[in-house]
Amino acid sequence: MTDVNVAATPGSSGAAPRRRRPRLTLDNVSFFAVFLGLPLIIYVIFVISPFAQAFYYSMTNWSGFSPDMKFIGLKNYQRLFSDEIFLKALGNNVFLAIVLPLTTIILALALATMATVGGSSVGEVRGLRGSALYRVVTFFPYVVPAVAIGIIWSMMYDPSSGLVNGILVDVFGVDSLKSFAWLGDPRTAMGATIFVILWSMTGFYMVLFVAAIQGVEKEIFEAARLDGAGRFRTAISITLPLIRENVQTAYVYLGILALDAFVYMQVMNSAGGPEYSTVVMSQRLFKAAFTDGQAGLASAMGVVLAVVTLLFASLVFLVNRLTGGESEGKKR
């Protein structure tokens, strides 16, 4: 007796037909093993396993240079959250994660809008004249290594012979800043460092947003123009919602950069800045592991940094979902 699936008719009262389960063949098994099993094994070995080891080391007093270690439980975490310098570093990272992505995205989106749809309001929708040159100029800092950028700007911020003070004094006549130490004053050290990161990263995200905006049909922008929408209104009400997923991705990547920021901070202020105004968690981790010989404590810092990063990314995705980001993506 053969098993035949009978399609239910509108007038029939029979039960819904049973669906046959797909048979496991050699091709199916080999496909799952190669394209799912192998990447999963690699991910577990090189991502999950090191994180689990770091969590275990964070509960020991391992020095990093000896096979001897003693299990001490959560004492490293208690020590961290009673350390004023580490808490200051955590606060600086949170501040960077709020300010840096938001500022970079606003600047990059403004430049991308001008380069794609910010041209003449008459005729075809296009960007400003010479926008291709602007893209190259703004993208150039991104190809320079972060270490080189930090060294260059440290020299430019030099209070005695730096270019920044030279321009402010000789060109604009601000004599009060003749020997001002931008990286040596707790009021300006963090702002000066954020400016350097903005200068180096804005061009890349501008190019990212340019590619996203160019994927939007020009008829949409033409319709907005006919309805009387200005450039600012078009950018807020049309451009931003249509490239929302790209903005979300950029925000996550910039947030991860802000929660690390080791290279820029270490090169420009290796000691953490005046009154630890620019110190970040990764700097404290580096010092604990390679200077103080406290690998267990450094592992605890790494775990805290990883948890904060995961919380940040989850918060970004949650906010995007609550504000209707996924529903808009499905409609498109």
Using CA atoms of 311, 191, 302, 41 in order, give the dihedral in degrees to the nearest 10. 60
Examine residue 91 and state whether it is found in any structural domain, yes or no.
Answer: yes
pLDDT reported for residue 115: 87
Q: Which residues of 50-75 are buried (b: 16+ CB within 10 A; e: fewer)?
A: eeeebeebbbbbbbbeeeebeeeeeb
Provide the domain limits for residue 44.
26-75
Q: Are residues 187 and 141 in the same domain?
A: yes
**For 231, left (φ over 0), alpha (ψ -120 to 50), or beta?**
alpha
Residue 272: which of 100, 88, 81 has the closest Cα? 88
Q: Are residues 179 and 249 in the same domain?
A: yes
Nearest-angstrom CA–CA distance, 207 and 107: 12
Nearest-angstrom CA–CA distance, 57 and 90: 21
Among 75, 101, 133, the domain boundary falls at 75
Q: Are residues 194 and 244 in the same domain?
A: yes
Q: Are residues 160 and 58 in the same domain?
A: no
pLDDT reported for residue 120: 72
Among 48, 75, 102, the domain boundary falls at 75
User: Where residue 198 sits, what CATH number does that domain have?
Assistant: 1.10.3720.10
Examine residue 195 and state whether it is found in any structural domain, yes or no.
Answer: yes
Examine residue 148 and state whether it is found in any structural domain, yes or no.
Answer: yes
Taking 3-state DSSP, the helix, strand and coil percentages for the chain, each rounded to the nearest 5, stand at 70, 0, 30
Q: Are residues 93 and 149 in the same domain?
A: yes
Domain count for the chain: 2
The pair phi, psi for residue 197, each rounded to 5°, is -65, -40
Examine residue 11 and state whether it is found in any structural domain, yes or no.
Answer: no
Q: Are residues 64 and 94 in the same domain?
A: no
Examine residue 8 and state whether it is found in any structural domain, yes or no.
Answer: no
Residue 214: which of 116, 146, 302 has the closest Cα? 116
Helix (H) / strand (E) containing 175: none
Q: Are residues 48 and 150 in the same domain?
A: no
Q: Are residues 34 and 136 in the same domain?
A: no
Q: Are residues 251 and 114 in the same domain?
A: yes
Examine residue 17 and state whether it is found in any structural domain, yes or no.
Answer: no
Kindly provide the residue ranges of all beta strands, DSSP E only, lying in 189-242, ordered along the sequence.
none
Q: Are residues 135 and 251 in the same domain?
A: yes
Examine residue 4 and state whether it is found in any structural domain, yes or no.
Answer: no
DSSP code at position 15: P
Examine residue 16 and state whether it is found in any structural domain, yes or no.
Answer: no
- Report whether 83 contacts 294 (CB < 8 A): no
Q: Are residues 227 and 288 in the same domain?
A: yes
Q: Which residues of 245-262 are buried (b: 16+ CB within 10 A; e: fewer)?
A: ebbbebbbbbbebbbbbe
Q: Are residues 59 and 102 in the same domain?
A: no
From first to last of its 332 residues, the chain has per-residue pLDDT tens of 444 444 444 554 555 556 666 666 777 777 777 778 888 899 999 989 999 999 999 999 999 888 889 999 999 999 999 999 999 999 999 999 999 999 999 999 999 988 888 777 766 777 778 778 888 888 889 999 999 999 999 999 999 889 999 999 888 888 888 889 999 999 999 999 999 999 999 999 999 999 999 888 888 888 888 888 888 888 888 898 999 999 999 999 999 999 989 999 999 998 899 999 999 999 999 999 999 999 999 999 999 999 999 999 999 999 888 887 655 555 55
pLDDT reported for residue 200: 94
